[in-house]
Amino acid sequence: MDINKLKLTPDSSIKEALKIVGQERVRLGIIVDKKDKFLGVISDSNIRKALISGKTLKDSIKDIYTKNPITIKENTSKEQLLKLSSKTDIYDFPVLDEKGQILSIKSISSLLKANPNSIIIMAGGLGSRLKELTKDTPKPMLKVGKKPILESIVQRLKNQNFENFIFCVNYKKQIIEDYFQKGQKFGVKISYIKERKKLGTAGALSLIKQEFKESFIVMNADILTELDFNALLKAHKKSKALMSVCVREFEQQIPYGVITQKQGFIENIEEKPTQKFLVSAGIYVLENEILNLIAKNEYLDMPELIKLVLQKGKVNTYIINDYWIDIGRPDEFLKANEDFK
């Protein structure tokens, strides 16, 4: 990368900055003064905010670029950089020498070997259980902490080397598309499957046109988890199953004394016993041939798809012991925001 091709001055126009920031592998413009002293950076986010506020492409960038951004040294280790990226949600860092001169841009993507497995995120639901919260905002765009839950999902997967995403969208889909676009801002590639009608939690998969050479992951857009997705894929491959379903243990306490009896006589009474179940965690690994089982453009929920797969082969279970929360219910949404303060 020729760093000089990324340089701008405070007097450069927004249009000039856009030409640099729009490049697929860069995403940052470098701001220097007339003596080539490093002043800051400009990103797609800076430009979008400026245009929304009323500035034009002819205006200069002097008031909109980021001054004193986070920078790194030439000898910053890979481990330090990954930790810094995880903490700040930044993926491109200016590299400065001891005199504060810009040397290069170090991108997280250059350190990681991209995972070939695609991630399909089911983001088309109405979020009706959240009532007023989703009246004007699609559920995946509700903020948990300081960012939309869907952004947190993408960033966590990006940190595990996944870069190919497909969003299945329906309800208020334009909000999602406008925010994520093709994924450049987040260092990933995003394409969209647009439902014209409700297709259930699995039916949208019938609209996929590409053929997957590798196992692919399907997950709901309302889940936050610290699951190691690479470990999940490894376990799926080892199982030689057509499909893997992530499950978690769910406990339910019966609020009464439970009686067992025989021929009208009590044999035992257990006070408020707790029952344990394995429940679906909304994350799945599928093989490409499963797509042939799904009728095109017809409603299908994931439990029904699992039943179809069981007629053809094995379905593996993968128990999640990591942090996991579904923000689809008001109480869980509030809890997630407490967890991510």
Give the pLDDT confidence score for residue 25 in this predicted structure: 58
Report the SS3 class of residue 174.
Answer: helix
Q: For residue 134, what pLDDT is reported?
A: 81
Exposure string of 111-148, with b = 16+ CB inside 10 Å and e = fewer, is ebeebebbbbbbbbbebebbeeebeebbbbbbebeeeb
pTM, 2 dp: 0.68
Rg of the chain taking only CA atoms, in angstroms: 24
Question: How far is the CA of 158 from the CAs of 25, 44, 152, in angstroms?
Answer: 15, 19, 10
Q: Which residues pair with 167 in a beta bridge?
A: 121, 192
What pLDDT is attached to residue 24? Answer: 47
pLDDT at 23: 62
Q: Which residues pair with 319 in a beta bridge?
A: 247
pLDDT digits (tens, 9 = 90+) for 2-56: 788 899 999 999 999 988 886 645 678 999 998 889 999 999 889 989 998 999 9
Hey, what are 169's tokens? 């969208």
Stretches in the chain below the pLDDT threshold 50 = 24
- The pLDDT of residue 45: 85
AA identity, residue 108: I
- Average pLDDT over the chain reads 90
Of 36, 34, 39, 42, nearest in space to 17 by CA: 42
136: which 2 tokens?
């004007």
| Beta-sheet pairing, 28-32 with 7-8 | parallel
**Domains along the sequence of the chain with CATH:** 3-110 (3.10.580.10), 119-339 (3.90.550.10)
Q: Are strands 143-144 and 147-148 parallel, antiparallel or unpaired?
A: antiparallel
DSSP secondary structure letter of residue 311: T
- pLDDT value, residue 141: 93
